[in-house]
Amino acid sequence: MKKYVFIQNEPFYLPKVLDKYLREFADSTAGINIQSVAQGKRTVLGTAMDLYRLYGFGYFQWKLRKYICKKVAAKVVNDWIGSTRVCHSVRAVAMKYGIPVTEAVDVNSESFLDHLRNEGVEFIMSISGTQFYGKKLREQTPKGIANCHGALLPKYRGLMPSFWTLANGETEGGTTVHFVNENLDDGPIIVQKHYRIWPHDSLEDVMARSKDLAAEAIIESVRLVESGDYQTSPNDAAEATDFTMPTRADLERLKTSGHRLR
């Protein structure tokens, strides 16, 4: 089964997830499309400003410094020196396994659809992808497009599920791999994995745990789709909860529940 990966250009957790995936499926992966970190219809700058207003100076500048360090390390170690012993970006992981990369393209454009057809792509795995996958793209992908979402769907559809899980005082979180349809986070569920949330857990703890489980869920899902011997679970819209960008009031609620950002 010829595969393609759509993945967000996030340097903290996703290089590790992609590395685990490619260890299993590099030989049958035709390419990797790297998508923007921008949330929803926002630009990257707009996303950054919204996060600054949400988190405040302390956490934002700490996260920004880590982001810049990762970007510099990726440029120097992975791009200039050419070493992939430690991969600081998803592009570096792709280079490690010799997988072609596309970036800054509209995956619904005719030229990209032609590219996927020419490569014989049968299945697409979206890992925290940030683009909408249109009807033509879905119809020309015979084994389907699967998306990995950091929550126990149908609960917590939409943006920043790890944040909302903590803000709402949940004692359990999870990761869901589901097929993509015309609605956001709405398709049938292939694999779902759970983790326990402790009162001392921070947002960083929960995001890291979610991404660890994501790699396991993705690999299991791809193997099931390859085998053709699997059953999906309903992603019931009647039970769905949808969330967008949090506010400062939501952050205070997260802190009041006993959790912290890091």
Mind telling me the catalytic residues? 149
Q: Which long-range contacts (CB under 8 A, 24 or more apart) does 225-229 make?
A: 225/1, 225/123, 225/143, 225/144, 225/146, 225/190, 226/1
**What are 251's two structure tokens?**
């952050």
| Strand pairing report for 123-127 and 3-8 | parallel
Pairing of strands 172-179, 189-196: antiparallel
> Could you give the residue ranges of the DSSP H alpha helices within 74-202?
90-97, 110-118, 135-139, 161-167
Q: State both tokens at 118.
A: 């020419």
Give the integer Cα–Cα distance in Å for 199 and 232: 32
> Would you call 68 exposed, middle or buried from its count of C-beta atoms within 10 A (0-12, 13-18, 19+)?
exposed
Reported as type and span, the H/E element at residue 158 is strand 157-158
Q: Is-contact 193 213, C-beta < 8 A?
A: yes
Helix, strand, or coil here: 184?
coil
Helix (H) / strand (E) element for 208: namely helix 203-227
